[in-house]
Amino acid sequence: MRPLLSILFMVAPNMTYDLIRKQLSKTVPFAKHAGVEIERIDKGRAVTRLPFRPEGLNRIGTLLEIRPVAAEAAIRFLAVAKGPVCAEAQVKGNADDLMAAVKTDGKSVFQAAVNLTGEDGAKVSPR
């Protein structure tokens, strides 16, 4: 399959990019779920769009006293998860100190490590 793709890119790169754009929602289930659209794609560059949808909103507007907001995220996968995935998060730092900072400063910045495990117990990502 890989040699065929190489030939397609050499012969008709624009046609190949159009095919990628059209097939995104069919071949990447999360892209379809999230509504990701490829606006432009060419050699080494893509521009995508995530439409505004109510189900895509975060919870910042809630009335909770404390609202956790993810400012940054990174993930490295060890294996493909097959079936349900369990996520276990551990805050880096002393939880009491973090809460005290919220009360005095109105916010607290902290890191959390998340371990993902498949239902068979296999690690999906490192902590």
**Residue range 6-64, pLDDT digits in tens:** 554 555 556 677 888 788 778 888 888 888 888 888 878 888 888 888 877 666 655 66
C-alpha distances (whole Å) from 37 to each of 46, 47, 52, 67 are 10, 9, 12, 30
Position of tokens 């607290």? 108
Is the Cβ–Cβ distance between 116 and 125 less than 8 Å? yes
C-alpha distances (whole Å) from 28 to each of 8, 20, 40 are 21, 11, 17
> Which residues, including other chains, have CB under 8 Å from residue 16's CB and lie 6 or more apart?
5, 8, 9
Tell me, yes or no, if the pTM score tops 0.75: no
